[in-house]
């Protein structure tokens, strides 16, 4: 940045002496104008708005927040020099980005372009050769998805089995269990019926002697009538088919997968602001 020349110190011509206080008072309007020029210049350069933030930088009482540093906030609107992580897009002033279309988003645009895949942070119209080309072309890039989702640290945590890449997002609000995920359970008996085993016969010997009948060693009956009851042997193996169904169980309702969750805070990310 080109240094601004210091204002000329005026003298108190009426007293014939150089009084710094009088000189400062006489030049105060000019100093205010120069300060406002510096404020506007730094505000456009650094992506900060307002007198307070610029004064912090000029007076050395603040610090620069690195591009990409994020904070939790109860505020609905972002702090000066920040954008809300709203799953929207950013880009230059001609980009038509949904979150912020301004030159001060260049640093965050390039951070997302270089640090994350197009799946996690897609570029409108597809990625070109590099971040600078896409920025100059007025393309947009989507902020990482955080709205309505739990935040977690990437990597392979102790006791975990799957490493997670930074920027990935996964999970679903509800799911329907398949048969292998269901607890072991029983069903009501319902209605079942056995079909015929097919045509078949049973045989026995009948010997007539003195008006009595003998059925395989079973005696009884008279006058040509068989006994009232007797047993026969099984006539070989055969099968029966059951039809019908047991009572159904369950309603196929989705299972709610939400853990106890608080949606108290918004997330804002720095464009290179002054804290």
pLDDT, tens only, 152-207? 888 898 998 998 888 887 778 888 888 887 777 777 766 777 766 666 666 555 54
Q: What DSSP string runs through 169-198?
A: ----SEE---GGGSPP------EEEEPP--
Pick from 116, 97, 142, 1: which is nearest to 58 by CA? Answer: 1
- Calculate the alpha carbon distances from 261 to 78, 149, 258 in Å: 23, 9, 7
Average pLDDT of span 127-141: 97
Q: What are phi and psi of 263, to 5 degrees?
A: -110, 45
Average pLDDT of span 2-6: 52
Is the confidence at residue 32, as pLDDT, over 60? Answer: yes
In this structure, are residues 121 and 113 in contact, taking their beta carbons and an 8 Å threshold? yes
Contacts of 67 (CB under 8 A, 6+ apart): 107, 108, 111, 270, 271, 272
Confidence of residue 229 (pLDDT cuts 50, 70, 90): low
Pick from 139, 50, 48: which is nearest to 92 by CA? Answer: 139
The confidence score (pLDDT) of residue 91 equals 97
Counting DSSP H helices and E strands in the chain, the numbers are: 4, 13
DSSP letter (8 states) at residue 103? G
Tens digit of each residue's pLDDT (9 = 90 or more) over 84-97: 999 999 999 999 99
């Amino acid at each position: 940045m080109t240094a601004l020349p210091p204002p000329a110190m005026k003298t108190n011509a009426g007293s014939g002496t150089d009084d710094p206080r009088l000189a400062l008072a006489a030049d105060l309007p000019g100093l205010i104008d120069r300060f406002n020029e510096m404020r506007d210049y730094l505000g456009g350069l650094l992506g900060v708005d307002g007198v307070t933030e610029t004064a912090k930088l000029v007076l050395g009482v603040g610090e620069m927040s690195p591009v990409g540093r994020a904070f939790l906030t109860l505020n609905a609107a972002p702090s000066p020099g920040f954008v809300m992580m709203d799953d929207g897009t950013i880009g230059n002033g001609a980009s038509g980005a949904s979150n912020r279309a301004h030159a001060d988003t260049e640093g965050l645009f390039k951070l997302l372009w270089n640090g994350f895949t197009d799946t996690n942070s897609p570029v409108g119209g597809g990625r070109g050769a590099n971040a600078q080309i896409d920025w100059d072309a007025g393309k947009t890039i989507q902020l990482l998805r955080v709205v309505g989702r739990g935040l977690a640290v990437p990597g392979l945590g102790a006791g975990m089995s799957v490493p997670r890449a930074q920027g990935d997002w996964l999970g679903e609000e509800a799911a329907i269990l398949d048969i292998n995920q269901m607890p072991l359970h029983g069903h009501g008996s319902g209605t079942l019926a056995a079909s015929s085993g097919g045509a078949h016969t049973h045989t026995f010997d009948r010997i007539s002697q003195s008006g009595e009948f003998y059925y395989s060693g079973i005696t009884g009956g008279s006058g040509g009538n068989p006994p009232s009851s007797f047993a026969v042997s099984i006539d070989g193996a055969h099968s029966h088919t059951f039809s019908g169904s047991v009572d159904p169980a369950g309603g196929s309702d989705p299972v709610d997968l939400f853990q106890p969750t608080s949606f108290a805070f918004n997330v804002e990310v720095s464009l290179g602001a002054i804290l």
